[in-house]
Chains A and B, each alone.
Chain A
Amino acid sequence: MSMPMHWRKVWTAPGTLALLTMTGLLSALLGEAIAWKAIAWTFLAVPVLATLWYTCIKPTFYRTKR
């Protein structure tokens, strides 16, 4: 059974961000090795970068093209 189109449209991006955040939150907790920490830093940086993209970069550089 496939998901309704609007459900996918609405929840794909927030769901992916939530999964990445949770992976980031848990990874450094599970291991001391730098690889675990790097996963945490990378994945937790995604919401921060998404904020930067949608609030600063996209409105500034893509407004004239639209």
Chain B
Amino acid sequence: MDALRSDTGALPAASKATDPLRHRALRRWHWIHTWSSQVCTLFLLLICLTGLPLVFSDEINNWLEPHTYVSLPDNTPRASLDRLAETGHRMYPGQVIDSFFIDDDEPQVYLWMVPSFEALKADPKVMHFIRFDARTAQVLETSKSLEAQQHSFMGVMLTLHTELFAGLPGELFLAVMALLFVMAIVSGVVLYGPFMKKIDFGTVREGRGTRLKWLDLHNLLGVVVLAWTLVVGLTGVMNELSVPLFGLWEQTDVARILSQWKDAPNIPITELSSPQAALETAQHAVPGNVVTSLVYPRPLAIGNSAGPSQYLFWSHGASHLRARLFDPILVNARTGQLSLVATMPWYLRALEVSRPLHFGDYGGLPLKILWALLDVITIMVLTSGLYLWIARRRTRASRLERILAVHEAANATRALRMPGAV
């Protein structure tokens, strides 16, 4: 905001007389800092406030809807996906399976179903799930519709945080806001140096006016959380660009890979090979990975699949470092043979690495608490910046009023002193 001006309201240190070029550069940086932060502050405040509950989303979800499981030995084998698919078809006759999600944290498997792929294309909210115990194949839960889930407390927080209920345009808009936030941080760092030449780090000048105190607090808190805000801001930009980045991958690498099966006919459900056997084939293809999801074959036009003839599996690394890096595996849905293991391009790897650095969910509950505290400090930086901008506008207005009053008083006195005045 208006934070890097000194208490007199002038830019510090580089005086006009000694170094006019430097003074001009500082004015330019000050302009960038003021306007980049002013444009994004309110949206950033919304993002920081909605981000607070999202940091603890696992804990809040477990508290709102606790998941309980029957106690079984750790080495109990998982139920076959074939059995879960049969149960799904029995529960929702006439519907088709969209995908399986095999949770590697809890002993549960989600089976997603849709009335038909045409209905899914027309309205993605027709998707619904059945949650199974991964070991006993017992049905634990059947879902509300996607629309109802979106209107839950955490759903509202997530949608506001990521897209402002505006879909892809909302995501792109928030990406621009995050980019402006990064610009505000960088320009703030450039201005911090000249400003702090005369005072010690951590100085908060109290007793010399509220505005000066908040100016010092804004600069102090801003520089204390600098590295964290920069990382979370940049990774936020990456996350908001996930749809276009995946779109780019689908139009380039994926289109090239799938072109060999583009004319393959749709496989009737009765002719699909066993999903459990396909899962085992995929798991053998990536021995160091854990397979966590299976997308059924469907027409290419619907997207997010490997076309009408292939099962698409997603796996991630088993080691901590590779746990967020996903690799797709294709298995022929008619023969059950391995088709290929694809590699992700660098920009999607960058997106995958940026996710934990944005969510703060990779170091247990203490890290989440620290994440929330750093978020609160950022909220203080944003609100103090907003206050400084408003206070400065008020100061300017009152200064103008004082000057006008003095001017009018002087005019009145002069009029009285003029010869002939009564």
B interface residues (Cβ-Cβ under 8 A, vs A): 192-193, 196-197, 200-202, 204, 206, 217, 220-221, 223-228, 231, 319-321, 356-357, 362-364, 366-367, 370, 373-374, 377
Task: Assess the A45–B364 pair: CB atoms within 8 A.
Answer: no
Task: Assess the B366–A37 pair: CB atoms within 8 A.
Answer: yes
Kindly provide the distance from the CB of A47 to the nearest chain B CB, expressed in whole angstroms.
5
Task: Give complex CA distance A54, B200 in Å.
Answer: 12
Asked, given contacts A13-B201, A40-B367, whether A28 binds B227 with beta carbons under 8 Å apart, the answer is no
Task: Assess the A21–B227 pair: CB atoms within 8 A.
Answer: yes
- A11: which B residues are within 8 A, CB to CB? 193
Identify whether the interface residues of B are mostly helix, strand, loop, or mixed: helix
Which A-B residue pairs are the 3 nearest by beta carbons? A28-B363, A32-B320, A21-B227
Task: Assess the B201–A29 pair: CB atoms within 8 A.
Answer: no
Task: Assess the A44–B226 pair: CB atoms within 8 A.
Answer: no
Q: Which of B197, B204, B227 contacts A54 (CB 8 A)?
A: B204
Of the four ranges (under 10, 10 to 19, 20 to 34, 35 or more), the interface on chain A belongs to: 20 to 34
Closest to A6 in B: B197
Task: Give complex CA distance A51, B224 in Å.
Answer: 7
Task: Assess the A47–B367 pair: CB atoms within 8 A.
Answer: no
Q: Which of A31, A37, A59 contacts B321 (CB 8 A)?
A: A31
Closest to B13 in A: A6
- A18: which B residues are within 8 A, CB to CB? 226-227
Task: Give complex CA distance A10, B196 in Å.
Answer: 6
Kindly provide the distance from the CB of A31 to the nearest chain B CB, expressed in whole angstroms.
6
A-B contact pairs, 21 of them (CB 8 A): A7-B193, A9-B197, A10-B193, A10-B201, A11-B193, A13-B202, A17-B224, A21-B226, A22-B227, A25-B231, A25-B357, A28-B367, A30-B321, A44-B228, A47-B228, A47-B377, A48-B373, A50-B224, A51-B224, A54-B220, A54-B224
Closest to A33 in B: B320
| Residue A65 is within 8 A (CB to CB) of chain B in the complex | no
Task: Assess the B357–A29 pair: CB atoms within 8 A.
Answer: yes
Task: Give complex CA distance A49, B319 in Å.
Answer: 32
Task: Assess the A41–B366 pair: CB atoms within 8 A.
Answer: yes
Task: Give complex CA distance A45, B363 in Å.
Answer: 13
Task: Assess the A47–B374 pair: CB atoms within 8 A.
Answer: yes
- B377: which A residues are within 8 A, CB to CB? 47-48, 51
- B204: which A residues are within 8 A, CB to CB? 54-55, 59
Task: Give complex CA distance A57, B133 in Å.
Answer: 51
- B228: which A residues are within 8 A, CB to CB? 21, 25, 44, 47
Contacts A29-B321, A40-B363, A41-B367 supplied; 15 other A-B pairs, CB < 8 Å: A12-B201, A17-B223, A25-B227, A25-B357, A28-B362, A29-B356, A37-B367, A40-B367, A41-B366, A41-B370, A47-B224, A48-B373, A51-B224, A51-B377, A54-B224
- Pick the most buried of A50, A53, A59: most chain B CB atoms within 10 A of its CB: A50
Task: Give complex CA distance A13, B196 in Å.
Answer: 12
Closest to B202 in A: A54
Closest to A12 in B: B201
Task: Assess the A29–B362 pair: CB atoms within 8 A.
Answer: yes
- B200: which A residues are within 8 A, CB to CB? 9
- B224: which A residues are within 8 A, CB to CB? 14, 17, 47, 50-51, 54
Closest to A58 in B: B202
Task: Assess the A37–B363 pair: CB atoms within 8 A.
Answer: yes
Task: Assess the B367–A44 pair: CB atoms within 8 A.
Answer: yes
Kindly provide the distance from the CB of A45 to the nearest chain B CB, expressed in whole angstroms.
6
- B192: which A residues are within 8 A, CB to CB? 10, 14
Task: Assess the B370–A48 pair: CB atoms within 8 A.
Answer: yes
- A32: which B residues are within 8 A, CB to CB? 319-320
Q: Which of B206, B364, B374 contacts A44 (CB 8 A)?
A: B374
Task: Give complex CA distance A44, B369 in Å.
Answer: 10
Closest to A16 in B: B201
Kindly provide the distance from the CB of B22 to the nearest chain A CB, expressed in whole angstroms.
14
Task: Give complex CA distance A52, B351 in Å.
Answer: 33
Kindly provide the distance from the CB of A35 to the nearest chain B CB, expressed in whole angstroms.
12
Kindly provide the distance from the CB of A22 to the nearest chain B CB, expressed in whole angstroms.
5
Closest to A44 in B: B370
- B220: which A residues are within 8 A, CB to CB? 51, 54-55
Closest to A21 in B: B227
Kindly provide the distance from the CB of B58 to the nearest chain A CB, expressed in whole angstroms.
16
Kindly provide the distance from the CB of A26 to the nearest chain B CB, expressed in whole angstroms.
9
